[in-house]
A and B are shown apart, each in its own frame.
Chain A
Amino acid sequence: MPSGFRPQRDPDALRRAGWALAALLVLWPILRVAEFNPADLFDARNLEVMGGFLGQFFPPNLSIDFLALALKATMETLAMATAGTALAMLLAAPLGLMLSHSLSISRIGPGPGRGAGRASRALVRGVLLVLRGIPELVWALLMVRAFGLGPAAGVIAIALTYGGMLGKVYSEILESGDTRPARELLESGSGRLMAFFYGLLPGAGQELASYTIYRWECAVRASVVMGFVGAGGLGQLMDQSMKMLNGGEVSTMLAIFLLLVLLADAFSVFLRKLLA
């Protein structure tokens, strides 16, 4: 370094310091509200519970009995996600078709039914918003109360939430592609359903399918935890093992989660390639 060289001061230093100070001022109340207190982690009692629990993680419980139980729960989880997504599609398809502007006859020109069309679209939009706005686990908690413990509640919960998400996205996909064929069909007097099947589906089918598969993947993740509120599957097993502080069972199940998520990822990539 030459002798006369002095590192230049950061010209932006004052502004940066100001921003940092402002961030700290915002952060402080957030830390207070979230009861942020890392010392809790090193509290003697918590350490004892957690230490004993983590100590049992090795070796994982690999007994045949438990693995059979876990396999059954895994199948139940996958079945819940699949059945729920299928019901969600059944719910979303008609609502998505109703919502989509590209299948609206009243929008083509001035005529009767414009108000009715607008009102029914607003209604469908509201229904979809409520369905997807309430988290799936809340739906599951409610459904467990309505239908009793077990996977049926989980299936309905996934069907409702994902029905809301799929319905909205279906209608957006149908509007985003080439809508001229459908419009042409509608203008020459075809029905809405025929306009959909011959005018929109050929162009949008692949995107609709691949979004549905993506949602199935999300549904697998969601149904893994449904059991925590009593809706069956792996979550229920996990909840029991955790309440009994059985570390060996929990570590086996964490490994199953890892496998399940990676496999669902791979399967959904495979399905989308098959469709492409």
Chain B
Amino acid sequence: MSTATFAERRAALGLCVHCWLTVLLLAVLVWTSFAYLSVDLSSLFSIESGSSMARFILRFFPPDLGGEFLRRIARGTIETLAISALGTLLAAGAGVLLALPAAGRFGAALKVATRFLLNFLRSVPELVWAALMVLAAGLGPFAGTLALALHTSGVLGRLFAESLENAPPEPARALTLGGAAPALAFAYATLPLITPQLVAYSLYRWEMNIRMATVLGFVGAGGLGQMLYYELSLLHEPQACSIILAMLALVVLVDAASAWIRRRQMRSGG
């Protein structure tokens, strides 16, 4: 093979030295990870572990579909939805309040401080917040609501600050030049411009928070997760299976609903 055809072939495949080095680096990292964890994959997929796995899975079937238990699941689902909705709502409110200083409206020092606070709020995972809130507010859905609110206000605050920074300043300037107070100018000129964005971000986070709220119960913060943890610790596998099915249904329905809304928006927008 001549070098010309080799270069051609290389170009045709779109390969580059950079990419190969990156792939090599990643391969080394993956290999190191498996070695570090000493996870022996071959033993995980051996015959005997397969048969014990099969026995483990079979214990979950058939799921418990008794009327009384289904009613409890329905209550757990509603609780999960309420936790996520309220947590997101609180976070949206806090997000707007934090976004104002984070967008630099009250000076550079406050901007840096708020940005650090937002980064901290969002870097602590929801589940860790939940464990802390269980200490602060006791077991139950209120702790879950606070946990979601804390983490999500970090995320939303940052996104809201970005929309505030990108909002055109002219309408607000027109109102202040006309003699309006800055707060009123913000409420009637800037806020209406960014409201659609704020709502879209909040809905998107709500969708993620529904998913999250299903598992916050593992540390005692209410909802379906708390039920699942309880039933599994009593080795009630059929009950656990129905709860997992309910979680799956909830996630799938929320996914489908948000896809439907987005499609409709795209159609009406385009």
Contact = CB atoms under 8 A, between A and B. Distances in A.
B34 to A, nearest CB: 5
A200 to B, nearest CB: 11
Interface in A235-259: 235, 238-239, 242, 245, 254, 257-258
Contact of B37 (A138, A151, A228): A151
Given A36-B86, A50-B135, A152-B37, A141 B119 contact: no
A30 B78 CA distance: 9
Contacts of B30: 82-83, 86
B53 A146 contact: yes
Residue among B22, B79, B120, B123 with max Cβ neighbours from chain A (10 Å): B123
B242 interface: no
Given A79-B32, A138-B244, A261-B123, A40 B78 contact: no
Q: Is the interface of A mostly helix, strand, loop or mixed?
A: helix
Interface in B131-145: 131-132, 135-138, 140-142, 144-145
A55 interface: no
Interface stretch (A60-68, A115-123, A129-137, A184-192): A129-137
Contact of B142 (A35, A141, A147, A262): A35
B119 A79 contact: no
Contact of A34 (B32, B79, B252): B79
A8 B26 CA distance: 65
A13 interface: no
A44 interface: no
B115 interface: no
Interface stretch (B13-21, B93-101, B195-203): B13-21
Interface string B125-157: 101100110011110111011000000000000
B125 A41 contact: no
Residue among A34, A78, A156 with max Cβ neighbours from chain B (10 Å): A34
Interface string B242-262: 001001100110010000000
Contact of A228 (B13, B32, B136, B218): B218
Nearest to B86: A34
A239 B135 CA distance: 13
Contacts of A83: 30, 33-34, 37, 39
Interface residues of B, number: 61
A275 interface: yes
Nearest to B83: A34
A151 B39 contact: yes
B102 interface: no
A262 B122 CA distance: 11
Interface residues of A, number: 63
A269 interface: no
Given A138-B244, A224-B125, A229-B218, A82 B29 contact: yes
Interface string B220-257: 00100100110010000000000010011001100100
A137 B251 CA distance: 14
B138 A31 contact: no
Contact of B120 (A43, A137, A224, A258): A258
B73 interface: no
A128 to B, nearest CB: 11
Contact of B140 (A35, A141, A145, A146): A35
A49 B132 CA distance: 11
B18 A274 contact: yes
Nearest to A243: B131
Contacts of A75: 36
Interface string A78-118: 11101100100000000000000000000000000000000
B114 interface: no
A258 B128 CA distance: 12
A201 B13 CA distance: 8
Contact of A205 (B14, B127, B141, B244): B14
A49 B135 contact: yes
Nearest to A250: B132
B45 to A, nearest CB: 11
A223 B19 CA distance: 27
A207 B34 CA distance: 26
Nearest to A238: B128
Contacts of A34: 79, 82-83, 86, 141-142, 144-145, 222
A215 interface: no
Contacts of A79: 32-34, 36-37
Given A205-B14, A254-B124, A262-B119, A271 B22 contact: yes
B44 interface: yes
B145 A258 contact: no
A86 to B, nearest CB: 4
13 contacts: A30-B86, A35-B140, A36-B86, A37-B142, A135-B212, A141-B228, A147-B44, A155-B37, A224-B125, A225-B128, A239-B131, A262-B123, A274-B18
Ranked nearest first, the 7 interchain pairs of A and B with the lowest CB-CB distance are A79-B33, A33-B82, A202-B14, A82-B33, A261-B123, A83-B33, A225-B127
